Structure 1
Amino acid sequence: MAQEYEDVDGSEEKDDLGFRDAPALTRKHTRILDACRRRDIDDLQALAISRGGFLTDTIRCQAWPILLGVHTYQRGEQEESSDSWRKLEQHRDEGQVKLDVDRSFVYYPNDDTQTQLDKKKSQLSDLITEVLRRHPYLCYFQGYHDICQVFLLVLPPTTRAAAVARLSALRIRDFMLPSLNPSVAQLRLIPDILRAADPALCAHVSRTEPFFALSDTLTMFAHNVRRYSDIARLFDALLAREQAFTLYVFAQIVLRRRDELFQQDEPDMLHFTLSKLPDDLDLDAVIADAATLFDNHPPESLRGWHSVSSASTLKTTRDVSVCATQTLEDGHKYFEKQCRELQWAQRQEELLRAAWANRTLILAVVIGAGAVYFRKAPIWSSLTSWSIPSHYF
């Protein structure tokens, strides 16, 4: 039996979410609101993983800001919603933002007039631009607008910018660095998860690089999930759990497609299949199984975990309750640390490339220097004196 809830746009959301009776739905509704009242992140995490997630956008308006650490009663958070950002210096990526916003709202909402869509695009542009101008160190990436449009549709104007800013600086910061290397480092943990859960499937999938997961991991699946109710429900779980959980959700989707994937032998076809989400995903089952997969094979047990930067969001969001208490300045400091690590790694790579390109010359110099050293060294003189009879001189 369905319940009716009014979302932030004033429309009615009708969905029984798989519950067998209205009392069960009402009980969960009450539990979520009680957890929100107590700002109990542990309870919200459990409720987000359970069937139906947070149920409606009306509840999400309360739960998401809590999970992200947004405190709307604080003056600083309220100022984030003012128009003062319009006077700030333009962000270097605003041209790309405009191109992407023009292509937004492809799948949903699907019942808006062109005028309504144009208004939403204008609001989306303002939301993204405000966050980037207030935090100019962040680098925009294609697909960021897919995430932001979900926040625009769910949250009211008073909390959107603050929520997206904290998401950007504290949860998806790795994707907003000036290099894709940290994003690729995250992708390489997916084969580790598969190897732990299903070695045979991992060996088969490893015929192609894990770049097939880039779009989904970058955009929290918002680029490829086509139904609004599905992406909103998936965001419940992704926001309630640490950043690494996104990788486990993707890995679980791969595990569920085992038979289909073993029918693909060519690496190109494997990549194509893996880069497209199935249309018939049972998201509640995927999320629940991903949580079990996470418990059975936690990040610390993965082979590549030790090589992940301590400033990566994979590690700084390991405890969502702690992450919710971090400040935007904390996010900026982590960002700068990651940038320094990237610069150091780049210099090391350049030195190695230069050394390899000049390996013949370097080897000749090393051999020559070694020969001069040993001929002059006392031990060399002693050896020659000892090994060669004096009457030969």
Structure 2
Amino acid sequence: MSWIEDPAFGADQPFGPQTLPYGVVESPELDGPAVAVRVGDHALPLRPIAGSFSDRLADLVGADSLDAVLAAGRPVWSELRARLTELVTAGSAPRGAKLLPLGEVTNRLPFTVADYVDFYSSRHHAENVGRMFRPDGDPLLPNWTHLPIGYHGRAGTVVVSGTDVVRPNGQRKGPKDPAPVFGPSIRLDIEAEVGFVCGGPVTSRVSVNKAPEHIFGVALVNDWSARDLQAWEYVPLGPFLAKSFLTSVAAWITPLDALSQARVAPPAMGNELQDYLVEDRPLGLDLRMEVRWNDTLVSRPPFASMAWTCAQQLAHMTVNGATLRPGDLFASGTVSGPEKNERGSFLELSWGGKEPVVLDDGAERTFLEDGDTVVITATAPGPDGSVVGFAEVSGTVLPAPVA
């Protein structure tokens, strides 16, 4: 029996010993930000128990961010997780241990985001968008089934879950507007996504089968999107101000090592792939996501339906010689399934604003209004019938600043 007396830490709970996600917390009881592991509904800071680790690991867990852990690489990640599992399942607490209730700590962005790339890898999402904006054409553009489509985002505006979302200003031009106008976005949206945090040595040209050596963990992402700004700016170079104002990432990163039982093969693409995208053992993941809009469950996007895996995305991202560094973050793109209640954006749920979503309090929504809160959660199958948890990613919309 574990020394951790928290009902939410049982092996039958999402944040039991099978999960052990990493984060960075602050508390009056700590000397500055500290690397921590989530155990049930508590944070276990690792600096106070650094003496329970080997010298190599003690330096890493005593830091104020996960940056050094990410740089250390896969063998060290596995060693650290194994030692943590021993410590949290032991009958007595390690010397110096402090269990801090989650409600009494402040979460920090747990690592320095070196680079950020966002993909577009849900076939259902891509086809939905194609049907809305190209009703007389093929929903998928010709390249979509041959390579993972993506764009480079802005690392400096990736923020930790719970950070407020200030409605962005920008240019937009409706079909009846004689000229573009400037002001707050009126079609503010979400994108329910899954992010992958990279580490290990600086490298390039990562093969699909070596991708797990460079993916430290998984975290939920909300890629907030201003659809009206996007519609006016994206031709010919793609998203820019409509995406770069904010991207939220969960405060706790679930290790890739926790997801061995969640691996699945992606749906067949329907055409032959280039050799560099062919995996020996596909790294699709069976994550079951939920999206809540002002406490109303509006969608359950199934990540197992994603057409491109994180390994294929990483291989494509680096095949041209682009550098992969510790702290690089890439996201899956909007996760949507075949059913209406599985769509991972409000653009799709409201079908471009034509079909309002009715919330539990009777309010109707098409896109986000000031004061709205969105929370995205997920779980995955774990070992021995357990469930692996993913920390929520949330945000509340605030009014645009006065231009």
- Scaled to the shorter chain, the TM-score interval is under 0.3
Judging by fraction of residues, say which structure has more helix. 1
State the TM-score, normalized to the length of structure 2: 0.25
State the TM-score, normalized to the length of structure 1: 0.25
Structure with the bigger RCO (C-alpha within 8 Å, sep 6+) is 2
